[in-house]
């Protein structure tokens, strides 16, 4: 597997505020692994989204997760982009946890219209362009400095199931 990750600013893909949610509880950055066969063009590449379990809000632990699952190697061998969206969680949902049960934060938490799932759907909708613009850093390095890479804002309000292929 390549020894680089792409860093995507997740905040750019949050859906517009709604009465249904007050806190998205997303970390500022998502991580993407782009295999060698997909670097020149995403044409013919597929995408796998990995939803991490509850994990500390410290980047060294998150990077250990991303680097040691062997998903990157599988993606490299099969031309599959691996997207690692990052939930932040809190003391109520659990540190680093996705909101799978807290309607006070998002009344639609268990639907495809939840703030967290819409954020991921929005990233997928814009993924080819986003990956072109995302900052690439070597394995082991945390998120980019405060100088953010340019990214395209995701469309809001995506709905429906997603099977993404860039054929």
Measured CA angle at 114 (ends 48, 24), to 5 deg: 90
Look at residues 144, 112, 152, 149 and name the one whose alpha carbon lies nearest to residue 128.
Answer: 152
How far is it between the farthest Cα atoms of the chain? 44
Q: How many CB atoms lie within 10 A of CB 159?
A: 10
Phi, psi of 17 (to 5 degrees): -55, 140
- Identify the pLDDT of residue 162: 43
pLDDT for 43 equals: 86
- What stretch of H or E contains 132? helix 127-133
Give residue 110's pLDDT: 87
Distance, first Cα to last Cα, the chain: 22
Do the Cβ atoms of 66 and 1 come closer than 8 Å? no
Contacts of 129 (CB under 8 A, 6+ apart): 152
The pLDDT mean for the chain works out to 82
What are the tens digits of pLDDT across the range 67-80? 988 999 999 999 99
pTM: 0.82
């Amino acid at each position: 597997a390549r020894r680089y990750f792409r860093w995507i600013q997740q905040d750019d893909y949050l859906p517009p505020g709604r009465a249904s949610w007050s806190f998205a509880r997303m970390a500022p950055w998502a991580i993407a692994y782009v295999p060698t066969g997909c670097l020149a063009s995403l044409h013919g590449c597929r995408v796998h989204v990995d939803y991490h379990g509850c994990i500390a809000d410290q980047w060294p632990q998150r990077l250990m997760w991303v680097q040691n699952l062997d998903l990157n190697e599988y993606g490299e061998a099969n031309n599959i982009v691996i997207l690692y969206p990052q939930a932040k969680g809190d003391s109520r949902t659990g540190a680093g946890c996705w909101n799978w049960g807290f309607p006070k934060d998002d009344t639609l938490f268990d639907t495809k219209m939840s703030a967290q799932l819409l954020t991921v759907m929005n990233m997928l909708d814009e993924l080819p362009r986003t990956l072109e613009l995302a900052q690439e850093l070597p394995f082991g390095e945390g998120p980019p400095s405060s100088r953010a890479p340019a990214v395209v804002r995701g469309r809001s309000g995506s709905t429906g199931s997603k099977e993404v292929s860039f054929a």
